[in-house]
Amino acid sequence: MAEVRAEITANVWQVTAELGQLVGEGDEICILESMKMEIPVVTETPGVLAELHVAPGDVVQEGDLIAVIDES
Amino acid sequence: MTSTGGGDVHDWGPLVGDLAERRERALAMGGPDRVERQRSLGKLTVRERLDLLLDPGTWVEYGLLADHMDPGLGDRYLAADGAITGIGAIDGRPVAVAAYDFTVMAGSMGRVGEDKIARLRAHALSQRIPMVWLLDSAGARIQATSGSGFAGAGALFREQVAMSGVVPMVAAMLGHCAAGTAYIPALADFVPMVKGTSSMALGGRHLVKAAVGEDVTEEEMGGSAVHTTISGVADLEVADDRECLATVRRYLSFFPAHNRERPPVREAGAAGAPADPVDRRCEELYGIVPTAPRRAYDMRKVVTAVVDGGDVLWIKPGWAKNILTGLARVGGEPVGVVANQPMVLGGALDVNAADKAARFVWLCDAFNIPLVFLHDVPGFIVGSAVEKQGIIRHGAKMLFAVSEATVPKVSVVLRKSYGAGYFVMNGMAYEADYIVGWPTAEIAVMGPDGAVNIIHRKTLEAIPDEAERAQRRLELAEEIRAHIDPYVAAGHAQLDAVIDPADTRRAIAEGLRVARDKRVERPWRKHGVLPV
C-alpha cells in the first residue's frame, strides 16, 4: 500500500481518478487549487486506487492523506 | 659497472629495486583481501577512481610513500596513510585531488594523511585550481585522536571555508562517511552521491546507537535518498562510481579554474557538442506552455528546449522540485538557469525552494557564470504552516543572493510573476541586464484572482446572493487582469521587450551578449549579514 499525500494546503478542485481504477506512475488522482494555481496530485506508485479520502470542495492541509494505492 | 678501485660504488640496482618494491606495496593499497571486499561492495578502488576521474597520464602524486608514523599503531603498514593526494587534469585543466582509501583502515583520517591533504588544499589555493575530494572514509581515526591531541584539530574546515568561492570545490560521496568526512561535503560546492553505497551523517550508526539509542542503517540515516530528496545536503544521486566520476568531470566543465577567470566557452562544433545556432527558433514551446494561466506544465521541457543541445546538468533535481536549478550553455557559454516549476506546488516558492535557489545563485555568481531566470511564479506560499518554517527568513535569503549577484542576469517572464516572487526571480529592479516577457506575461503585486478579494472586498461582501457574488468577482477580476498585461509593463519600459516564445533562446543569447562585460561596483564591506 502506498500513500499519496497533499504537499500544500489547498482546496480540492477536481477528483480525476475513480476508486478501483488502475493507475500508473505519474497518473493524476486529483487536482488541488492553491496559490491560484491548479496543482495536479499524481501517484508515484502504480497500482489500484484502493482508498480516496477527498472530494471536490474539501480543504486539505500539507501532509493530509489523499489516496492509497494498492500496488499488489 | 665502473670500478674505481675501492669496490663497487655505483651499485644502484638494490636501491632502485627497494624503491620499486616500496612503491608497489603502496599501490597495492590495503592488500588483496580488503581490495576484494571493496569490490564486493560494488565500489571501485581508489586507484581505479583516479583513472576514471582524470585525463590519462596527467597524475602527479604527492606522498605515495607516506605511512601512519604513529607508534601507537605499531608495525602496521598503512599505504599512503589511507589518503591519496595529487594533481591531475580534467579536460586538460589541472585539478587537485584528495581521495580516501577505504581499504586502508576504513579510509580513516590519520595525521599523516591529513597533512598530505592540507598540503593539497594549499596547492589548490595558491595555484588557483579546483579541489576534488573522493570521499570513502569512516571519519576520524579514533585510535589515534581519542585524547586531548584533538584540541588543535579542525583546520581543515576553516581552510575549506577560506577556499570557498575562490576555487571550485567538489566532494564526491563514494562510501559511508561520518563526522569529519561529512563536513567536507557540507562545505564543498557540489556533492554527488552514489546510490546504495554512500552516505553522510554526523554520527555513524554505532555512535548513534550509543548516543541516542536509535537503531538505523547508514542508508536510512544519511543515504542518497535522504540527502537528495529530504535534507537537500547533496546535489545529485548517481547510480555508481563510474557515473559519479563522469559527473564530476561534467560539472567542472562549466567552471573556471578560479573566481578571477571566465568560465570556459565550448566552441561550436567542439567534440560532443553539435553546433546549435543561438537564433534557433523554439516553436515546440507553443506546445509545452499552456496560455491558460492556471494550468501546469513541465518547465524542464522549456529549459531543455532553449539551451545548447538540450543539455542541462540539474542541481538538486530531487529536492525543492518547485524550483529548477541547472547548469547549461547558451552559444557555448556556461549559464546557471533558475526556473519556476509549475508542475510542483504550482511553482509557488517555499522555504526549501528559496534556499536551493539562493545557494545556486551564490555558486554561479562566485564563479562568473551568468544567470538566466525563467519566471512562472504565483509568489511565495502564504499561511501559518510556512510562517512557522521561517518563509520570511528563507525568502530574504533568495532576495539577498539575487541582489548581491553581479554576473550578467537575464530574465524571461513566461506567464505570471507575482509579488516578491517577481523580485527574487530577478525582476527589473534587481539589476536585470535584460528582461523580456512573453505575450502571456503577468507582472503584478498579486494575481487578479487574489487582488479582487482585497480591492473589492466590501463591494463583494455587500452582495447577498452567492452566485451573483461569484459572478461579480469574476468580472472585477477581469477588470484587474486588463491592467496586468505585458504591454502595460512594456509601455512603462519596465519590460525591455515582449517576445514571441519561439524566440526565447535568441533573446537569452542577446541578453547575455550585451551584458558580457558588465561591471558592478558596490560599497566596501567585510560582508553582508546574511539571512540564512
Residue B7 binned pLDDT confidence (cut-offs 50, 70, 90)? low
| Cα–Cα distance, A53 to B210 (Å, whole number) | 41
Quick one: B328 and B410 in the same domain?
A: yes
Q: Given phi > 0 = left and psi -120 to 50 = alpha, else beta, which region is B255? A: beta
Q: Which residues from A are below 8 Å from B349, CB to CB?
A: none
In this structure, are residues B373 and B347 in contact, taking their beta carbons and an 8 Å threshold?
Answer: no
In this structure, are residues B183 and B171 in contact, taking their beta carbons and an 8 Å threshold?
Answer: no
Q: Does A62 touch chain B (CB under 8 A)?
A: yes
Identify the domain containing residue A13 by its residue range: 2-70
Q: B296, A34: Cβ pair inside 8 Å?
A: no
Grid cell for residue B344: 510542483
pLDDT at B270 over 70: no
Q: Which residues from A are below 8 Å from B323, CB to CB?
A: none
Interface of B with A (CB under 8 A): 294-296, 342-348, 378-379, 381-383, 385, 447, 449-450
pLDDT at B5 over 60: no
Q: Which residues from A are below 8 Å from B294, CB to CB?
A: 36-38
Q: What is the DSSP letter of B151?
A: G
| Closest in B342, B346, B447 to A34, CB measured | B346
Quick one: B210 and B342 in the same domain?
A: no
What percentage of chain B exceeds 70 in pLDDT? 96
Q: Are strands B199-201 and B169-173 parallel, antiparallel or unpaired?
A: unpaired
Q: A8, B348: Cβ pair inside 8 Å?
A: yes
Q: B379, A35: Cβ pair inside 8 Å?
A: yes
Average pLDDT (B312-329) is: 98
Q: B345, A8: Cβ pair inside 8 Å?
A: yes
Lowest-confidence segment of B188-197, B396-405, B465-474 by average pLDDT: B465-474
Q: Is residue B2 part of a domain?
A: no
Identify the domain containing residue B468 by its residue range: 448-483
Q: According to the model, what pLDDT value does residue B141 have?
A: 86
Of B222, B245, B224, whose CA–CA distance to B236 is shortest? B224
Q: A37, B346: Cβ pair inside 8 Å?
A: yes
Q: B346, A39: Cβ pair inside 8 Å?
A: yes
| Closest in B295, B344, B348 to A38, CB measured | B295
Q: Is residue B150 part of a domain?
A: yes
Alpha-helical segments (H) within B265-390:
284-288, 299-306, 351-366, 384-388
Residue B142 binned pLDDT confidence (cut-offs 50, 70, 90)? confident
| Cα–Cα distance, B432 to B496 (Å, whole number) | 10
Residue B153 binned pLDDT confidence (cut-offs 50, 70, 90)? confident
Quick one: B205 and B329 in the same domain?
A: no
| Cα–Cα distance, B237 to B318 (Å, whole number) | 8
Of B529, B336, B490, B523, whose CA–CA distance to B426 is shortest? B336
Counted domains in chain B: 3
What percentage of chain B exceeds 90 in pLDDT? 84
Average pLDDT (B382-386) is: 91
Q: A36, B447: Cβ pair inside 8 Å?
A: yes
Q: Which residues from A are below 8 Å from B295, CB to CB?
A: 38
DSSP readout, B100-119? E-TTTGGG-B-HHHHHHHHH
| Closest in B296, B383, B449 to A36, CB measured | B449
Work out the minimum CA distance from B450 to partner chain A, whole angstroms.
8
Q: Which residues from B are below 8 Å from A41, CB to CB?
A: none
Of B252, B274, B305, the residue at which a domain comes to its end is: B252
Q: Does A42 touch chain B (CB under 8 A)?
A: no
Q: According to the model, what pLDDT value does residue B493 have?
A: 94
Average pLDDT (B327-349) is: 96
Specify the CATH number for the domain of residue A18.
Answer: 2.40.50.100
User: Cβ-count burial of B174 within 10 angstroms (0-12 exposed, 13-18 middle, 19+ buried)?
Assistant: buried
Hey, which bits of B102-198 come out as E strands?
131-135, 169-173, 176-178, 192-194
| Cα–Cα distance, B397 to B359 (Å, whole number) | 9
Residue B55 binned pLDDT confidence (cut-offs 50, 70, 90)? very high
Quick one: B479 and B493 in the same domain?
A: no
pLDDT at B316 over 60: yes
Averaged pLDDT score across all residues of chain B: 94
Counted domains in chain A: 1
Question: What interface predicted TM-score (ipTM) does this complex get?
Answer: 0.79
Quick one: B405 and B425 in the same domain?
A: yes
pLDDT at B271 over 70: no
Q: Does A8 touch chain B (CB under 8 A)?
A: yes
Q: Is residue B273 part of a domain?
A: no
Q: A8, B381: Cβ pair inside 8 Å?
A: yes
Residue B269 binned pLDDT confidence (cut-offs 50, 70, 90)? low
In chain A, residues 18-37 whose CB comes closer than 8 Å to chain B:
34-37
Q: According to the model, what pLDDT value does residue B447 have?
A: 83
Q: B378, A36: Cβ pair inside 8 Å?
A: yes
pLDDT at B4 over 60: no
Average pLDDT (B483-499) is: 93
Q: Which residues from B are below 8 Å from A8, CB to CB?
A: 345-346, 348, 381
Of B377, B297, B369, whose CA–CA distance to B337 is shortest? B369
Quick one: B342 and B361 in the same domain?
A: yes
Quick one: B28 and B65 in the same domain?
A: yes
Residue B287 binned pLDDT confidence (cut-offs 50, 70, 90)? very high
Q: A37, B381: Cβ pair inside 8 Å?
A: no
Specify the CATH number for the domain of residue B309.
Answer: 3.90.226.10
Q: Is residue B532 part of a domain?
A: no
Cα B321 to the center of its chain, rounded Å: 15
Q: Is residue B187 part of a domain?
A: yes
Q: A62, B447: Cβ pair inside 8 Å?
A: no
| Cα–Cα distance, B523 to B239 (Å, whole number) | 46
| Cα–Cα distance, B122 to B110 (Å, whole number) | 18
Q: Which residues face B172 on adjacent strands? A: B134
| Closest in B295, B342, B345 to A7, CB measured | B345
Q: Which residues from B are below 8 Å from A39, CB to CB?
A: 296, 345-346
Average pLDDT (B129-153) is: 83
Pick the residue from chain A with its C-alpha nearest to B345.
A39
Q: According to the model, what pLDDT value does residue B8 have?
A: 77
Q: B343, A38: Cβ pair inside 8 Å?
A: no
Quick one: B319 and B384 in the same domain?
A: yes
Q: How far is CA A37 from CA A11, A66, B443, B449, in A?
A: 11, 18, 16, 10
Quick one: B330 and B374 in the same domain?
A: yes
Q: According to the model, what pLDDT value does residue B150 have?
A: 77
Quick one: B84 and B146 in the same domain?
A: yes
| Cα–Cα distance, B264 to B333 (Å, whole number) | 7
φ, ψ at B342 (rounded to 5°): -60, -15
Quick one: B225 and B289 in the same domain?
A: no
